[in-house]
Amino acid sequence: MTLNTTPPGQSADDGLPIAGLLALAMTGFICIMTETLPAGLLSQIGASLHVSPALAGQMVTAYALGSLSAAIPLTLATQRWRRRRVLLLAIIGFVIFNSITAFSTHYGMILVARYGAGAAAGLAWALLAGYARRMVTRSQQGRALAIAMVGTPIALSIGVPVGTWLGAVVGWRLAFGIMSGLTLLLIVWVLACIPDFPGVAQHERLPFGRVLRTRGVRSVLGVVVTWMLAHNVLYTYIVPFITPAGLAGRADRILLLFGLAALAGILLTSRMVDHALRLSVLTSLAIFAAVAGLFAIGSTSPAVIMIGVTIWGLTFGGAATLLQTALADAAGEGADVALSMNVVVWNSAIAGGGLLGGMLLETWGAMSFPWAVLGLAVSGFLIAWHAQSHGFRSGHRLGQGAGEN
């Protein structure tokens, strides 16, 4: 199977299929919103279900467990299915499980639904990058993936605060109901604008172990681990980190600033990913490390925090596009399987960032965060630097003779 199949009626010179790519971006938006919506409504949810806020918070944990445990098995199990059918299966899962969450009064049932929603997200995340790449010619893949990934920073910077506000105004149940309604509209959007593609024939299916052993795959996953751990140590505990600068009451504005900068980073990455992927990864990690150093010496200054967060957002915005492009290129015909690994590694790094950040906060305080971020960012830089022959190659990615993509 090749992943550069040109959709019917689209030549290499045609414009990007924007409507279809934005439908994929909306899928990512739904994934992030479904995952994070409970976080701002824990008191409401706890009071309604007669559980503590801590137990209500396990709705987020259940979702993460679903993504981690189901991404690879579901991807392997559905390799032979037509691609749009699999995408619609994941999206319909959001309708079902968000609706159960909205209407159920039983805490245990809601946790099961949240696990199911996480499983749907794991399958969706494993599909999105590969689907975006197949919708366009190979020379358009970088720009296409950047558009397909734009839903994530929008959800994190704008969608989550709006979702929290909406839940406070109309109630948490109706907020989840609205999510189901938006997902129904997404189904229509997918059917109207996203082309279908065949699955993998039985004789073309690549075993998990073989894909993992493909040269370059482990290097890219190593950068995913270090980069996302570094990011999530700081992002998860942003409030205690900015408190010494007197910005605790402005955390929402700080996160909005980060999100807007990340959007700009995606735009910049879309112009760089094809002809300077390696340089973009190395530059982003080097600048992120420099920002961590700046935070280490000036974290009590509001100006340093604001400037640093802006630069951090710019470097992080294109991370998903850069890393998934590098991973799919390295894996060749095993791209879908490799991208399911990415879902597991990425989400593990999110959880690991929370755990590591919590340990640092309890042991040495928030001032230890920049030093941990600096070490992790440098580690990611060194992994990428040494993966020049496979994983993060120099020059234009179309001239590298990578596997079929």
Mean pLDDT of 37-46: 81
Same domain, 316 and 345: yes
How many residues in total does the chain contain? 405
The amino acid that residue 227 corresponds to is W
Residue 288 is part of which domain span? 208-398
CATH of the domain at 364: 1.20.1250.20
Mean pLDDT of 386-399: 84
Q: Which of 160, 184, 204 is the last residue of a domain?
A: 204
Burial degree of 209 (CB within 10 A; 0-12, 13-18, 19+): exposed
Same domain, 46 and 94: yes
Helix axes 107-134 and 141-148, enclosed angle (nearest 10): 160
The amino acid that residue 395 corresponds to is G
Q: Give the pair of three-digit tokens for residue 364.
A: 């040495």
Q: What is the pTM of this model?
A: 0.83
Q: How confident is the model at residue 14 (pLDDT cuts 50, 70, 90)?
A: low
Same domain, 182 and 303: no
Same domain, 355 and 238: yes
Same domain, 52 and 152: yes
Beta carbons of 67 and 125 less than 8 angstroms apart: yes
Same domain, 351 and 243: yes
Same domain, 144 and 279: no
pLDDT value for 296: 95
What is the DSSP annotation of 56-123? HTHHHHHHHHHHHHHHHHHHHHTTTS-HHHHHHHHHHHHHHHHHHHHH---HHHHHHHHHHHHHHHHH
What average pLDDT does the chain have? 88
Same domain, 79 and 34: yes
Domains identified in the chain, total number: 2
pLDDT value for 36: 83
Is 70 exceeded by the pLDDT of residue 403? no
Q: How confident is the model at residue 293 (pLDDT cuts 50, 70, 90)?
A: very high
Question: Which residue, 334, 332, 330, 350, is CA-closest to 72?
Answer: 334
